[in-house]
Structure 1
Amino acid sequence: MYDTNGSVMNISPWLEANSQDSYYRLEVVAVDVQSVAMPTELDNMECRLHHLESKVIEGVGKAPDLIYELKSQVESFKRKLESVEHLSWMGLFRDDGERHLQAKFTSKLQSPPMSLQEERQKVRMQFLNMSSLQVTEEVREHLKTPIFDNWQWEEAEMLVLLQVMYTDLDFMTAFHIELDVLQNFLFEVYCHYNNIPFHNFKHCFCVTQMMYGLIWLTDLRNKLSRIDLLIMLTSALCHDLDHPGYNNVYQINAQTDLALRYNDISPLENHHCAVAFGILSKPECNILKNLTCDQYKHIRGGMIKCILATDMARHNEILNKFKVMQPVFDFTNKDHKEVLMKIMVKVSDISNEARPMAVAEPWLDCLLQEFFNQSDSEKLKGLPVTPFMDRDKVSKPSSQTNFIRFVLLPLFTELTKLFPCLEQHILEPVRRALDYYSTMERATKGEEDTTKA
């Protein structure tokens, strides 16, 4: 989309309305139908249905009507994708009249796909080119809220927004961080997140953005030192570096190199810390290079504690400590502050359900995909299958109702006691999410009961 001056615009809810004097111009981007496959989820579903049908026929001689109905629904949905005009930008619209829109892009699509290194360098160039542009005040203010929608932003844009966070919290001046060093650091962090369904760079951005928002909402800038704010924000940024997509239980049961290296003690979280300080050890990425030895030790110790606190195996231990402190919490007490910083990183890490449903629900789909990948691997390798990751036992609503009820609400409720302003911003949205998934769970159970009857 372009403005009247021909400049590329970001599409967002905060754009001013069109008028006769000031209007936007859209350029439709379409691709060659033959070069774009159907979404892999549909193909996978078709394969599983065909496999199920053949197994049933092999066993009882005839597939039930339910299987034929499911196959019909999948095929119908594929036909819909191929015929809905507004999906032409995906390359799925087959109206020959639209082909003239595609010719411009054919040669580009037929070129060899970029390597991972080339993709990263493209993101780097986009980031550096955009980093000098002025981010609007509306975006800066929205960045401070839990309703921020990560799905509207590309990776290079997210890097720009991370730069804004470090700038607007005055870290650059306070810790003598050079702009090019911060940019190198942020880019290296981006490069060390893997292309996996959930624990990827976008998750890292969401966690860091939530931490940034909580710092502003709770006025922590006037309650904690600047160095402690730097610890929390950078811990959020680095908390899942080089995550392989398989959790600690898997690492330990499979006796992976990480489990052996860290003696089965929070292997992933220890690895995330090690990767973070590996990045910081490079002079061109070391945002801490102008600090004193004492400041560096304080930041290193604080980041290690905050990142290790994201191991859910330690959830109850940390929450119970905070529960004891919360009624008499003292911002001048070193132990109290340390536990609060861990709680803030933990809340940020698992805060998706505090976001609007349109933002949160796609993240749940990504998480379940990663869970199911792990349980599939566990079954193949003969390892104990993690119950809440088993695709044959877990449903979307059931996975959330228990997690919200027994993990999120107790944690968010305790933090809200210390910061009542969070009732509106994170506690109420989580309660609404529980109602949403509880209703979905009851409906699913009702359908199952009807089918059995």
Structure 2
Amino acid sequence: MLYLCFPPLTPAGDSKRVIEIEKFKYEIADIRDAFLTHQRTRHVDFARLRPAVTLPATFFSPGTVREHVITLQREPPAFTKYRLTTETTENLKQPSFDVWQWEPNEMLALIEHMYRELGLLEEFCISPPTIRNFLVSVQENYRNNPFHNFRHCFCVTQMMYCLIYLCRLPEKLSKKELGVLITACICHDLDHPGYNNSYQINARTELAVRYNDASPLENHHCAVGFRILANPECNIFSSLPESLFKEIRGEIILLILATDMARHSEIVDDFKKKLENFDYKNVNHLTALKMILIKACDISNEVRPSKVAEPWVDCLLEEYFNQAETEKQEGLPVAPFMDRDKVTKASAQISFIKFVLIPLFEDISQLFPQVEEALVVPLRHAREHYEQLKEAEEDMRRLAQSKSIA
């Protein structure tokens, strides 16, 4: 058997990170070109670069739901050829982990390692072929959006894996609960069309109609995830009693639905009420904790080093700008933070970090003081970075204005 060691965080690894980021830049440029070429279509077909299992080769409206059966489109890679170095497995548990170094098959292998390291393969009696089939099918069902893609799925899952160790959750939660957390992260944005819930509802897409405007995307992500699990080749829970599977299914759905940012205040306020007398034996308290953890992981990029985090801002803004252009074409409301003419990277991030991220992670640090240094302090540094960037942008604008007047 041929063994290949994953690259540690070295200059060579940095080169690989740059390559992966450049790939994303080219894909984003292609998306811009596609938008200009297909201005009369309802949206840009983000999936054309690597079609997802659920997507035919034709254009669909952003809310279109596909009903056909999800099957494996390719053989799972031979993950056994990868042997992770000790350095890699330790870095995988850190919020500073460089998510840009890894190619798709390597990310699959890293997620399989998380299941193995947490004892989830034994807990759920998952065979190696089944976990690999599941992960490949998941990967195939993420579209090539600038932001909501499989690498984002990996980022969220890796941050949850990090929090499990940083917060010492195995001492507090069962392996079943850890498995729910990891699996919910993996499935949380499946088949995301690159247009948010506001667009779905305002445009009255099929998704919005199907789910009565109630978290249409999150409901769709859940549905796609369980369609994947309906395939016996991919069902990582097939060995469980029906009653336990129903329990796990309900918990995964609850967590994925919690990632709807429209519910942010509701979920955070509920968690804060339980903080003073938090009880790990109380089911409602545990549910609130798990919901807050997946929310935090979903929006955690700015916790990472700036060289890892900042490319994600560009990706997210490009996805936002594409949606805004579509909304303008269709006469729909446009959120100011999505309008290319009204927002900058600095202005967008300062508000989000100051009013959403820092308060959220400070709440978590009340229950887990050890995350203060690892998660909250980097967020404060990120806020300072974007404040300095904003000042520089304003200086440049004032200089340009003075030159034009002169």
Q: Does 1:13 align with 2:16?
A: no
Q: 1:182 to 1:131 in 2, by over 3 A?
A: same
Task: Tell whether 2:132 aligns with 1:183.
Answer: yes
Aligned position for 1:60: none
Is the Cα–Cα contact under 8 Å of residues 6 and 83 in structure 2 kept in the other structure?
no
Q: Residue 289 of structure 1 aligns with which residue?
A: 238
Q: Which amino acid aligns with 1:303?
A: I
Q: 1:257 to 1:418 in 2, by over 3 A?
A: same
Q: Structure 2 length normalisation: TM-score?
A: 0.83
- Alpha-carbon deviation of 1:15? 8.8
**Alignment partner of 1:276 is 2:272:** no
Over residues 180-210 of structure 1, what are the superposed CA-to-partner deviations in whole Å (9 max), with x where a residue is unaligned? Answer: 1111100110010001100000000000000
Q: Which has the larger radius of gyration?
A: 1
Candidates 286, 309, 328, aligned match of 1:379: 328
Per the alignment, residue 317 of structure 1 pairs with 266
CA distance in 2: counterparts of 1:39 and 1:254, whole angstroms: 26
What's the counterpart of residue 168 of structure 1? Answer: 117
Indicate if the aligned counterparts of 1:238 and 1:273 stay in contact, CA closer than 8 A: yes
Match of 2:196 in 1: 247
- Where structure 1 has 5 or more consecutive residues not aligned to the other structure, the ranges are 1-5, 17-25, 27-36, 49-112
Structure 1 contact 321–339 (Cα < 8 Å) conserved: yes
Q: Name the aligned partner's letter for residue 196 of structure 1.
A: N
CA contact (8 A) 1:124 1:156 kept: no
Per chain length, whose mean CA-contact separation is higher, i.e. which structure has more relative contact order (CA < 8 Å, sep 6+)? 2
Secondary structure of 1:162's counterpart equals helix
2:253 matches 1:304: yes
Q: Does the Cα contact within 8 Å between 1:123 and 1:155 map onto a contact in 2? A: no
CA deviation vs aligned residue, 1:141-165 (integer Å, no higher than 9, x gap): 1111111111110000000001000
The question of whether the paired residues in 1 share the 8 Å contact of 2:82 and 2:109 is answered with no
Instruction: Encode CA deviations 1:76-132: one digit per residue, 9 max, x unaligned.
Output: xxxxxxxxxxxxxxxxxxxxxxxxxxxxxxxxxxxxx997489xx99955x622334
User: Is this contact kept in 1: 2:302–2:379, CA < 8 A?
Assistant: yes
- The CA distance in 1 between the partners of 2:226 and 2:378, in whole Å, is 35
**CA–CA separation in structure 1 for the residues paired with 2:194 and 2:344:** 20
Report the identity percentage.
48
Structure 2 vs 1, CA of residues 114 and 411 (structure 1 numbering), >3 Å: closer, same or farther? closer
Say whether the 8 Å CA contact 1:193–1:200 is kept in structure 2: yes
The letter of the residue matching 1:205 is: F
Q: Distance in 2 between matches of 1:388 and 1:123?
A: 37
Distance 1:217 1:117 in 2: 34
C-alpha distance in structure 1 between counterparts of 2:247 and 2:322, whole Å: 38
Residue identity opposite 1:224 in structure 2: L
Q: Secondary structure at the match of 1:12?
A: coil
Change (3 A) 1:174 1:253: same
Aligned-pair CA distance for 1:297? 1.6
Cα distance in 2, alignment partners of residues 374 and 249 from structure 1: 10
Change in 2 beyond 3 A, CA 1:255/1:334: same
The C-alpha deviation readout for 1:219-277, integer Å capped at 9, x for no partner, is 10110111111111100000000000000000000000000000000000000001011
| C-alpha contact (below 8 Å) 2:49/2:144 kept by paired residues | no
- The size of the alignment, in residue pairs, is 360
Structure 2: tracts of 5 or more residues without a match: 16-24, 37-47, 54-70
Mapped partners of 2:120, 2:371: distance in 1: 25
Q: CA RMSD in A?
A: 2.8
User: Does the aligned pair in 2 maintain the 1:354–1:427 contact within 8 Å?
Assistant: yes
CA distance in 2, matches of 1:175, 1:38: 40
CA distance in 2, matches of 1:348, 1:162: 15
Contact 2:255–2:291 at 8 Å: present in 1 too?
Answer: yes
Q: Please state how far the C-alpha of 1:386 moved relative to its aligned partner.
A: 1.6
Q: Which amino acid aligns with 2:231?
A: K
Q: Which residue of 1 aligns with 2:354?
A: 405
CA distance, structure 2, for counterparts of residue 42 and residue 189 of structure 1: 24
Instruction: Write the letter of the residue equivalent to 1:139.
Output: T
The 2-side partners of 1:223 and 1:189 are apart by 29
Evaluate the alpha carbon distance shift between residue 8 and residue 386 of structure 1 in structure 2; reply closer, same or farther with a 3 A threshold. same
1:425 alignment partner in structure 2: 374
Aligned residues of 2:5 and 2:82 also touching (Cα < 8 A): no
- Distance (whole Å) between structure 1 residues aligned to residue 49 and residue 147 of structure 2: 23
Contact 2:8 2:85 (C-alpha < 8 Å) held by counterparts: no
Q: Structure 1 pair 266/38, CA: closer, same or farther in 2 (3 Å)?
A: closer
Deviation at 1:43, TM superposition (A): 12
Corresponding residue number in structure 2 for 1:388: 337
1:154 aligns with 2:150: no
Residue 147 of structure 2 is aligned to residue 198 of structure 1: yes
2:191 and 2:26 map into 1 onto residues whose CA distance is 30
Q: Confirm or deny that 1:356 pairs with 2:305.
A: yes
1:165 counterpart letter in structure 2: M
Question: Could you say if the C-alpha distance between residues 448 and 263 of structure 1 is closer, same or farther in structure 2, counting changes exceeding 3 Å?
Answer: same
* Cα distance, 1:124–1:138 mapped onto 2, change above 3 Å: farther
Supply the distance in 2 between the matched residues of 1:44 and 1:257 (Cα, whole angstroms). 25
1:438 to 383, 387, 390: 387
Name which of 280, 286, 299 aligns with 1:337: 286
**Residues 404, 158 of structure 1: alpha-carbon distance in 2 compared, 3 angstrom cutoff:** same
- CA distance in structure 1 between the partners assigned to 2:151 and 2:352 by the alignment: 22
